[in-house]
Structure 1
Amino acid sequence: MRRTLAITKKELQMYFYSPVAYAGFAFFFLIAGYFFSANFLYPPNIIDVRPVVGTISFVFLFIIPLLTMRLVSDELRQGTDELLLTSPISITEIVTGKYLAALTVQLLLVVGSLLYPLIMSLYGTLDQPQLWLSYLAMFLMGAAMMSVGLFASSLSSHQMVSGIVAFAILLVFWTIEWLGDTVGGKIKDFLGMFSIVGRANDLQKGVLDFTDVLFYITLILVFIVLSIQVLERKRWR
């Protein structure tokens, strides 16, 4: 665990020594703030946190590939992956440490976005269970997206390629329910099970369904394991 935390600390330093993280944060709060102002403040709208959470989750679709594209790609590009992969640290510890760093950055975005419900509370009373379960849904969705971004970053030494691959995979998970709607029938229900947007609906209504929580956790674990497998193959080449 100590070595995992050491990797996490190193990755967090890399995040905040790089202008990419600051550009990502600026882009996130600029876009989220714009939509919040346009949809709520002028004039004050219904006191409902769900549109805010929906907007922020949509911004994640663009910002998370930007924040994760360098996680492993940078190591591959600089050649430092050979030192890392031949060190006493296990691949699992490396991947877990990098993921925890990405998750910490995402948590900062989620916590920072609490500013918007705080402003909304000045105009009326927020439904507290709905607020916190909506934010839980947003955090879990972002955490799953981060694992996808980490996996994409392990596939290529080119950061831009990793970012595009991450966006493409996330776009499939984002739109898969819409694809099911065009097909209909049992296929619609089947594809809907894998929608990262659809799985958040009940939580955003204030209904805690542990199957939805389990879906996001499973998705996180699947892409972390895939990242480990990709790096294991690189180690034995």
Structure 2
Amino acid sequence: MKISINRIYLLLGFVLLFGLAACKRDNYYIDGGKAKAEFDGTMLDYLKSKPVPFDTIARIVKLAGMEDVFNQQDITFFAPTDYEVKTMIGSVTQIGSLNNRLFSAGKDTVKTLSDIDGPIWAKYLQRHIFKGTKKLADYPQYDPALPAVYGGQDYYAYNNTVARIGVIYGDVGGVKYIGYRQLTIAYVADLSNTQATFFTYMVSSSDIKPRNGVVHALQLSGDAFGLGSQDMIVEILLK
């Protein structure tokens, strides 16, 4: 009888532990994990408080003339990391990078961020910014295998470009859609071509909450600035 009671207590303990975890798991995600989401400061304050990975992004906000937006307006920011910018600019020996292509074209390479005009920084930074605040739970489901059924949704960014945003629901033990959730975003270059293949960028940390908005930090990919850095590289080359 004593063993039976102990087993009951053990079972109740597991139930309580699982219940608490289930209640909390929707609050904030890092690839399905939970971390501290609230930040007592503006969105720009948040970026400045994280020199790794957002020191470069904070400087780009200033070069783009968008400090008031990041300090005062309610926005949702799909934040690329410093790694994306450094990879995009690259070196003269880094094939496909901005500096490699500038060097090959006989043009001056980029040595500091200010070598790139502020309006160009603003144009591609604004692809990541959306008016109003939306957390992961506010976006529809996206299934890359069933886009006609679960296709996410198109949203207009700050500069009126369009991005397709949706949440992938993971599978567990062969059961669909009951696992972790991961937010995704893709730049839509041509709304008239609904069959186009879009490159999807994954969010690593979602629902970070400064005072004036929500930050969703993008996973490292190497070309996520501007949701496809080649557009920015080509524009600079053509100047």
Structure whose alpha-carbon radius of gyration is higher: 2
TM-score by structure 1 length?
A: 0.26
Higher strand share: 2
Higher helix share: 1
TM-score by structure 2 length?
A: 0.26
